[in-house]
Structure formats: structure tokens, C-alpha cells
Chains A and B, each alone.
Chain A
Amino acid sequence: MFSQLFAVRKKLDSKQRILVSILSFLVPLVVWSLISYVPFLWHPKVEITTPGDVSYFSEGMLIDREIFDTEVEVMITESKAIPDGLPANPIYLPAPHEVATALYTAFTTEPKRRNEKWLHESLWDSIQVIFWGFVISSIIAVPLGILAGTYDVFSRLFEPFIEFFRYLPAPAFGALAVAILGIHDAPKIAIIFIGTFFQQVLVVSNTTRKLDPSLLEAAMTLGARRLSLLFRVVIPGIITHLFKDLRILLGWAWTYLIVAELIGTSSGITWFITQQARYKNFENVYAAIIIIGIIGLTTDMILAQMGKKIFPWEKGAAKA
């Protein structure tokens, strides 16, 4: 059993795979639960239940354990009412059940001010920014990448500059983007675009170059020429890898989201997160972060399933 689990590059059977996959989520959750629910693990604070005679204590207050202990001693020596409290974690680490509840209540809590947005509205804003940034980037980068991977002349023409540009951090263009595009969604889309585009051209051109050259040779001996080589061999030959690249790059686009949304007027999920942190509703902050993860993972899984449908030759093609 043990040696089977750790066999080098051997696939586990399907039952084991599912179990281990569940474990990958379960382990962090268990660690989090232990820290939250076992009083002697960490818990550096004390939540006051009865303030006693300590003047600045009040019920529900979080106090550093050391301060609490000294106050208790002071009260004992002065023979006043002794305060009492329970071990607690800092406010920035809510327990799992609090975050779980927040996953629901965050959607149902009305915004504090009239002009503020509900969580689902904020999320929708974020998704639109990501979508447009990624789509515009892909529309330009994929053709350029394919050209660069197919024709050496385009590779030399595009790639040296792109290699240089991709080292420039996208957020560095924030101020510039605001100056040019205003303060609303446009500069945010631009940051996602800058963060994705340059990597995308290089990734796509690399994928294109990996196409087995003997397929091109075979096509040429069958009479394929120039454009038909490109459209009938190169593109269908790389499309499955291209699709995988795009899935990975979409994840990349998400990582630029938070920075992008801080530019100009703060908006979307980032606005929600900063706002909730300001109100010290950290369970909502965690809930929002988890929602981003869920959206990302779900989109990726949907795309993976779609890939299987669109490319029926994919299955097992890696082996062939």
C-alpha cells in the first residue's frame, strides 16, 4: 500500500486519486480548524467575558494575553473583582464556521451606504474586467504568437521587444493607464492586458514551435502550401496545447486583478475586500478571497470539460 502510493510516476487508481484530491483540501482545513478550535494552540489573545474592576476592559474586548495576566495579578493584589476571559485568536483569523457563514451572509448583507455595491455586483464588475482584459489580449496575442512560432521573420520581429517588455511590471503602468484611459474600468482592463499579453505571445509562439516538424513535411509531400500549411496543419496541430495555455494564462490574468482594481477608483472584489477589512469584517474578507478561488477553479474545470468535447482526438493523443 505504502510503496504503491509513492511509486515514481505511476498513476494511482481512481479511488486513491479522489481520496488524495479531497485530502489536498482537507489538510489546510484541518490545520485551520485546529488553530481555531483548540484553545491551547496559539490563541495569543483573551476575549473578555467579565471585565471585573479593570477600568478599560469591556465585554467582548480582545486583549493580549500578557496584558490580561498582569491586570489579573494587579486585581488580585488590590483584592478587587478579577476579570475573566477565554483564549482567543486575533481578529484577522476568523474560525472556519464564521467564514462559512460569511460565504452566505456576505451576499445578503446590504451595503453600508446607498451608493455602495452588493458583493455580487462587485464580483460581476471584477469578472467583466478580467474577461475583457483577457479576451482583448488573446485576440491579439494568439495570432502574433502563432506567426512568431511559424515564421522566423516574425519571431525575430516580435520576440526581442516582447522579451524586454515582459520584464516591466504591469502595475508600473497604472498611473500612465489612468492618465490615458481615465479612472474607471478601462485602465484596469489595460493592466490585465499588459500583464497577460506579453507572456501570452511568448507562450503561444513556444507552443507553436513544439509542433512536430514531420507533420509539416508530411503535409508538404501531400501538396500543402503556405497558407494551407498554416491553417490546415499548424493551427489544428497546436490547438489543444493552445487551449491549455489559455487556461493557464487565464489564471495569470486573475493574479493581476487585485492590483488592477486598485488603480483609479477602487472597484470590484478588491473594493469589497478593502472595505470589509476597514470595518474589521475579516470573515467577509476571507469569504471574498475564497470566492475568487472558487470562480477560478470552476471556470478552469468547465473549460477542461469543454476541451474534451471540442477536441475528441485529445483523449489518448498524448500517448500516440
Chain B
Amino acid sequence: MSQLELPSYLDQSEEVKDRFDRMKDRPVTLQVKNLQKEFDSPQGKVTALKDINFKTYKREFVCVIGPSGCGKSTLIRILAGLETPTSGEVLLDGKAVSAPGPDRGMVFQGYTLFPWLTVKKNVMFGLEMSGHGKTSSEEQALQWIDLVGLSKFANAYPHQLSGGMKQRVAIARALANQPRILLMDEPFGALDAQTRAKMQSYLHEIWKNIDVTILFITHDLDEAVYLADRVLVLKAHPGEVQEVIEVPVPQPRSPDQLLSPEFLATKRRLEELIHPKEEEAGINEDQLNMVRMVDVNNEVESVF
């Protein structure tokens, strides 16, 4: 890829630039201020997240990407209220949040559907928790199930569904509460490549048609560039914001853009940030210590 002559990822077409300018005029949905998270470990205090600051605008799609150990899952769990930060605050529409609540929907990698409830009842769960009556929750739930294309499976139990279908139910369940922001923690990480591509398109369709801001965690560079308006790149030890990239690929997205120059330029930049050249980093520990273990008389002497 490095041989390819690519534009800078910072170059934006007029159209894209205009869109970002308009986006920045929108109200801020989520603001994270000086967020810090420390853990006590046997080796002493570990700083998982250090001085994280960023904001997302209304109906923006933000991806968070970073190497393993950068604390991206910790970050999203703090945003969801499942963990408390050591210091700093999280503001949703200007109000500080601390505990989990239906204003922040969450989709987990492990589906987390309630196995004892049918698809319909799973989606109704949040609605009933927020005090909707049975008939009104059922009516709304069916609409959301229809939106993710699973009407035929409304009365099926989760174990009867495939991974992709389960994750669609989980999305419908989170959206049914009409959250201000949808937090997604590597939601497609357990799916195979084809299902994952399909799910990415579905998710974009849903996002376009619904009033929701999405914060999406992934470790897949293509997924980040394909889905996001902006990509928040974290670095590890301690987890800090390294760069916020405005993706120059025009919206609406389609799989044809996966090979466009803007796409590849952005991906190359992410690659540089997340997998820096090893000489620079001075780390050699993931080099294999290989010795030739093929017999000299082997039928296939060399694989080349």
C-alpha cells in the first residue's frame, strides 16, 4: 500500500468540507472532559485512560479505534455508566451522567440478548422499564423489529437466530428506548466477514433514518473508515487521544468506496498511528524466532 501514490488524508473535497462545517454547527450531544481512569493492579496503579477530551455532534457517527490495551472498552463502559471514572466528567446534552440509563443505548460484542425472552419481548424490555404500557411497548417493539428486518422472527427465541440476526435484535432493543446516543462496543467483532459487511450497511441505513448519534468501537481499520464521520484514534499505555481524523470519504457511503484514494489515504494514516514502524518503536518482541524445520529432502523444498 505504501507504494501507492495517494492524496493526504487531510485533503477534503468542497462537498466533504462543507458537510463537516455544517456538522460542527450542530448541537453537541456528548462531551467528554478531562476523563481519567486508573486501576489498582498488583504492579501498582495503572492509568487506563489519561486526560480524554472530545465531543460528538448531533447525529454524528464517531468510531473509536486503537491498539489493544488502549482502554477503548473502558472508555465506552464509562460513557455507558457501567464504570466510574477516576476524574473528569461525561456530559450528555450538557448534563453530567454517572449511572447507566436509557438515554445511552449500548450494544455489546457478546449480543447479551435475554435468552428467556422472545425477540419481541427483548425489544419490549427497555420500553417497559421506562414505563410504557404493554400494548404501546408491543406496538413500538414490532416497529423496531420491522426496521431491522426481523418481523418474521418476532416470536423466536435468541438461540434460534444467527449471530448477525442476534446483533440486529440487540440494535433494535437499544434503539427502542430512543437513546440520545448509541454506544457500540465492537458489535460486529464476533461475526464472519460477509455478515459483518452486511451489518455495516444495515447500520448505516438505520443511522441515516433515525435521530441518533453513534459512538462505535472497533479494531478494524476498514470498518472505522467505512462507517465514521470522524475517527477518534487512541494510543495505548496510557490510553490517550492521539488524533481525531475527519474521514474525507464522501457520504453516503457504499462498498465501492473501499478502494477510493480518500479511503486508502485515511486507512494508511490509521495504519501509521496504530502500527508504528517497529524500528522507531524499538520493539522486536513479536518477531518469531524461526529456524528452518523442513527436511532437506522434503518434496516441496521451498514454498516460493
Contacts and interface: CB of A to CB of B under 8 A. Distances in A.
A222 B173 contact: yes
A237 B114 contact: yes
Contact of B106 (A212, A218, A224): A218
9 contacts: A217-B106, A217-B112, A221-B100, A221-B174, A225-B129, A236-B114, A236-B117, A239-B116, A312-B157
B127 to A, nearest CB: 9
A176 interface: no
Contact of A223 (B115, B130, B158, B159): B130
Given A223-B101, A224-B129, 4 more contacts: A220-B81, A221-B174, A222-B125, A319-B159
B108 A313 contact: no
Interface string B88-115: 0000000000011110111010101011
Interface residues of B, number: 29
B102 A313 contact: no
A313 B100 contact: no
Which one of B80, B130, B157, B177 has the greatest number of beta carbons of chain A within 10 Å?
B157
A221 B115 contact: no
Given A217-B100, A316-B160, A317-B159, A222 B129 contact: yes
A236 B112 contact: no
A227 to B, nearest CB: 11
A8 to B, nearest CB: 25
A196 to B, nearest CB: 26
Contact of B116 (A220, A225, A237, A315): A237
A158 to B, nearest CB: 26
Nearest to A224: B129
Contacts of B126: 222-223
Contacts of B114: 215, 218-219, 233, 236-237
Contacts of A233: 114
Nearest to B114: A215
B82 A232 contact: no
A215 B173 CA distance: 13
A320 B158 contact: yes
Contacts of B110: 214
A315 B183 CA distance: 31
B116 A223 contact: no
A311 interface: yes
Interface of B: 80-82, 99-102, 104-106, 108, 110, 112, 114-117, 125-126, 129-130, 157-160, 173-174, 177, 183
Nearest to A222: B126
A228 interface: yes
B108 A214 contact: yes
A228 B100 CA distance: 14
Contacts of B174: 221-222
A5 to B, nearest CB: 30
Which one of A218, A237, A312 has the greatest number of beta carbons of chain B within 10 Å?
A218
A222 B183 CA distance: 12
A26 to B, nearest CB: 36
Contacts of A311: 116
Contacts of A320: 115, 158-159
B112 A223 contact: no
Nearest to B166: A320
A53 B281 CA distance: 108
B47 to A, nearest CB: 24
Contacts of A214: 108, 110, 112
B132 to A, nearest CB: 11
B116 A236 contact: yes
A313 B82 CA distance: 28
B133 to A, nearest CB: 15
B112 A317 contact: no
A315 B157 CA distance: 10
